[in-house]
């Protein structure tokens, strides 16, 4: 199964953009890239997902490399409430139930 690689931690200043990277070099052609975030003592929360094209929603933007071997979650203006663990996962077209969540990136937002 394809795995993802993320930095353990990142820091950002409030109201500045944040770019969270994810590598997935062994991704298959029909696997979707999903991002979730988890606040302390809560279950993960869906953020965004995509296949090939860049995606935007009210929470964030997802930039997917042309070869699909990496992606970047973009928070346009970080707030203190964005401090969380961010998980980049692959949802496999051949086995959509069995996604692997790594340790994610812990984002710290400084006021």
Q: Smallest distance, Å, CB 101 to another protein?
A: 4
Is 79 among the residues that bind another protein (CB under 8 A)?
no
Pairwise CA distance, residues 5 & 19, whole Å: 15
Q: Smallest distance, Å, CB 4 to another protein?
A: 10
By CB under 8 A, name the one of 79, 95, 108, 110 that touches another protein: 95
Q: Is 22 buried (19+), middle (13-18) or exposed (0-12) by CB count in 10 A?
A: buried
Pairwise CA distance, residues 17 & 4, whole Å: 23
Q: Smallest distance, Å, CB 13 to another protein?
A: 26
Helix (H) or strand (E) holding 89: strand 84-91
What does the binding site for another protein look like in residue numbers (CB under 8 A)? 30-32, 34, 36, 41-46, 49, 51, 87, 91-93, 95-104
């Amino acid at each position: 199964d394809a795995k993802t690689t993320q930095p353990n931690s990142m820091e950002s200043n409030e109201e500045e953009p944040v770019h969270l990277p994810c590598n997935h070099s062994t991704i298959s052609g029909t696997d979707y890239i999903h991002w979730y975030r988890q606040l302390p003592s809560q279950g993960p929360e869906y953020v965004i997902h995509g296949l090939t094209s860049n995606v935007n929603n009210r929470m964030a933007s997802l930039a997917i490399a042309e070869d699909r071997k990496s992606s970047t979650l973009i928070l346009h203006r970080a707030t203190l409430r964005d401090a969380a663990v961010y998980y980049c996962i692959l949802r496999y077209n051949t086995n959509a139930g069995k996604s692997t969540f790594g340790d994610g990136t812990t984002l710290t937002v400084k006021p």
